[in-house]
Amino acid sequence: MENEKHTIKKRRRSFRDGEPIKDLHILLSKDEHCKVKADAALAGHSISLHCKKLLFTGKVVARFSASELKAMRDLSGLSTNVNQIAKRLNVETDALTIAMAEDVICALKKILLEAQENKN
């Protein structure tokens, strides 16, 4: 037993860009932790990254919601149609082109109303 070696388990250090990473521990209540976790998920971040952004910038901007992303895709598609119709109207004016323009205007109004309803 006298010759028995006692090994001490050393904690492995983590490095980033050659610099050791330091830990910062904070204590939160269960409710506070749930709120931070939910806010981080909404922003699309890990809890660690979310807290780091809050600590250094004072704010975190959340990503777009699914309905906002859908509205942006719809508007992007319609903008292509509007450009094509405008180009055609500059070349020729006929009933079909005017009807297409009216359809696009109606679709734009519908998307804007949906976006306003989702916002409220």
Highest mean pLDDT pick, 46-55, 78-87, 90-99: 46-55
Residues ≥6 apart with Cβ < 8 Å to 116: none
Whether 48 and 72 map to the same domain: the answer is: no
Please, what sign has the CA dihedral across residues 36, 42, 47, 52? negative
Whether 43 and 98 map to the same domain: the answer is: no
Phi first, then psi, for residue 12 (nearest 5°) are -75, 135
Whether 80 and 24 map to the same domain: the answer is: no
Could you list the beta-strand ranges (E) of the chain: 15-16, 19-20
Beta bridge partners of 15: 20
- pTM greater than the 0.75 cutoff: no
**What domain count does the chain have?**
2
Give CA–CA dist 39/43, Å, rounded.
Answer: 6
3-40 residue pLDDT tens: 555 565 555 667 777 777 788 888 999 999 999 998 88
Whether 36 and 83 map to the same domain: the answer is: no
Which range marks the domain in which residue 106 is found? 66-119
With a cut of 70, say whether residue 1 has pLDDT above it: no
Beta bridge partners of 20: 15
